[in-house]
Amino acid sequence: MPLGLQAQAAFVPADNPLTPEKIALGKQLFWDKRWSRNGTIACVSCHDPAHGWADARTVSLRFDGTPTPRHSPTLVNRLFSDTQQWAGTRTSLEDQAMKASDQTPELLVKNLGPIEGYRVQFQKVFGTGVTPEGVAKAMAAYERTILSGNSPYDRFRAGDEKALSPAARRGLTLFEGKARCVTCHAGFNFTDETYHNIGVGMNREKPDLGRFTVTKRDEHKGAFKTPTLRDVAKRPPFMHDGSMTSLAQVIAFYNEGGVKNEWLSGDVKPLGLNATEMADLVVFLESLTGEVAREVTSPPEFPK
Ligand code: HEC
Ligand code: HEC
C-alpha cells in the first residue's frame, strides 16, 4: 500500500479476490480497443493514465462520436469506494465495468472470444471461456490496483517537515479550518464517499439532478459524489460537467459560496478568503499529487 493509504478501508467483494493473473488480464482488457463496439476505443480513451486517469476533454466521446452526459472522473483509489459514478448509479466496480463497455455482453464475447490469448487466460483465471462476468471481474481487479499515495502531503504527515512548502502548509491549515473543505473531502482519500449539492451547473436551464436521478429523493437534487482530491492537479477540467478548467477557478467558486439553489448544502457558504489564502489552497491541492506504480501505468502487451 503506498504511503498515506489505509488497507483496512479497501472494498474487495468476497467473490472477486485479487490475484496477479486476474489483475494482469484486467489490465490488458482495460487498454484493449478490441472490446469496443467498433474497435476504436478502450477504457484508457476516457480514463487516461497520463491525465490522472480522467479525460482532458469537458465530456468524452463514445465510439460513435456522441458525447457522454458527464465528465469522465478519475479512477485513482477506487479500491476505497463501493458505489461508482458521479450519482452513485453503479453498485460496484464490477457493475460499472459490465455497463461501461457501451455494448452488449453478447458482442463483447463475440469480439474477444476468438482471441486465443484471452481464451487461455480466462481458462486459467476463471476456468471458463470469455464471459462478460469474467471481463468485468478482471477489469475491476485491475482498477483496484490503481492507487495514488506517497504525495508530498503524505510524506509531511509521516514526519518529513520539508515535504510541504510554507504556502502548502498554510493551505492545509485553511483546508482543515477556515475553508472547511474537510467537511466533505474527509479522511486519507479526501472524500466522505457521499453526495452533496455544491451548486455546480444549477444555474443551467435544465440542471443535471445528479443523485436524485437514482434515489428520487428531493433532498438529493443536484447532489454529486465527493471526488477524491488525490492527484487532482493532474486532471483538469473539474466537476461532473467538466465546467472548471483550473484549481484557482474551483477555489474562487467555493469562496463565493457555490451557486445558490434550493438544495444547496448547508456546508457551502461564502468563505471570505483573500487572494493569498486562495493561492495557498491551490498550492496545497498540488501537494496531493502522488505516485501510481509504474507496472500499473505502463501499457500492457496485448494477446493475439
Ligand atoms: C467514452 C468514454 C468512456 C469510456 C470508453 C469508459 N468510460 Fe468510464 N466513465 C466515463 C464517464 C463519462 C463516467 C462518468 C459517468 C457518470 O458518472 O455519469 C465514467 C465513470 C467511470 C467509473 C466511476 C468512477 C467514479 O469515481 O465513480 C468507473 C469505475 C469507470 N468509468 C470505469 C471504466 C471502465 C472499466 C471502462 C472500460 C470498460 C470505462 N470506464 C470506459 C467515460 C468513459
Ligand atoms: C459540501 C461538501 C463539500 C465541501 C465543503 C467542499 N467540497 Fe469540493 N466537492 C464536493 C462535491 C460534491 C464535488 C463534486 C461536485 C460536482 O461535480 O458537481 C466536489 C468537487 C471538488 C473538486 C473537483 C475535483 C474533480 O476531480 O473534479 C475540487 C478540486 C474540490 N472539490 C476542492 C474543494 C476545496 C478546496 C474545498 C474547500 C474550499 C471543497 N472542495 C469543499 C463536495 C464538497
What are the tens digits of pLDDT across the range 253-303? 999 999 999 999 999 999 999 999 999 999 999 999 999 999 999 999 999
Ligand closest in space to the Cα of 36: 1
Residue 123 confidence (pLDDT) = 97
Alpha-carbon torsion, ordered 247, 248, 250, 251, to 10 deg:
120
Q: What is the dihedral of CA 273, 276, 278, 281, to 10 degrees?
A: -120
pLDDT in tens, 207-254: 999 999 999 999 999 999 999 999 999 999 999 999 999 999 999 999
Q: Is the pLDDT of residue 102 over 70?
A: no
Pocket of ligand 1, beta carbon within 6 A: 41, 43, 45-47, 60, 62, 68, 70, 72-73, 75, 78, 84-87, 93, 96-97, 100-101, 139
Q: In degrees rounded to 5, what are phi and psi of residue 85?
A: 85, 165
Q: Which CATH class is domain 152-286?
A: mainly alpha
d(CA 224, CA 37): 29
Confidence at residue 63, expressed as pLDDT on a 0 to 100 scale = 84
Contacts of 273 (CB under 8 A, 6+ apart): 174, 178, 179, 251, 255, 281
Cis (ω within 30 of 0) for the bond into 237?
Answer: yes
- Select the more confidently predicted residue: 39 or 269: 269
> What residue segments make up the domains of the chain, in order of their start?
7-147+291-297, 152-286
| Residue-by-residue DSSP string for 160-221 | -GGGS-HHHHHHHHHHHTTT-GGGTS-TTTT--SSEE---TTTTSSS---BTHHHH--GGGT
Ligand 2 proximity of 200 Cβ (cutoff 6 Å): yes
Using pLDDT thresholds of 50, 70 and 90, give the confidence band for residue 109: confident
Q: Is the pLDDT of residue 165 over 80?
A: yes
Length of the chain: 304
48 CA to centre of own chain:
11
Q: In the structure, what pLDDT confidence band is assigned to residue 107 with cuts at 50, 70 and 90?
A: confident
pLDDT tens digits, residue range 199-211? 999 999 999 999 9
Residue 100, C-beta contacts closer than 8 angstroms, at least 6 positions apart = 43
First to last CA, the chain: 33
For 7-147+291-297, give the CATH class: mainly alpha
Residue-level pLDDT at 101: 57
Give distance in angstroms: CA of 47 to centre of ligand 2.
20
Topology alike, domains 7-147+291-297 and 152-286: yes
Q: Kindly report the average pLDDT of the chain as a whole number.
A: 95
Atom 30 in ligand 1: residue holding the nearest Cα: 96
Please write the tens of the pLDDT for every residue from 139-156. Answer: 999 999 999 999 999 999
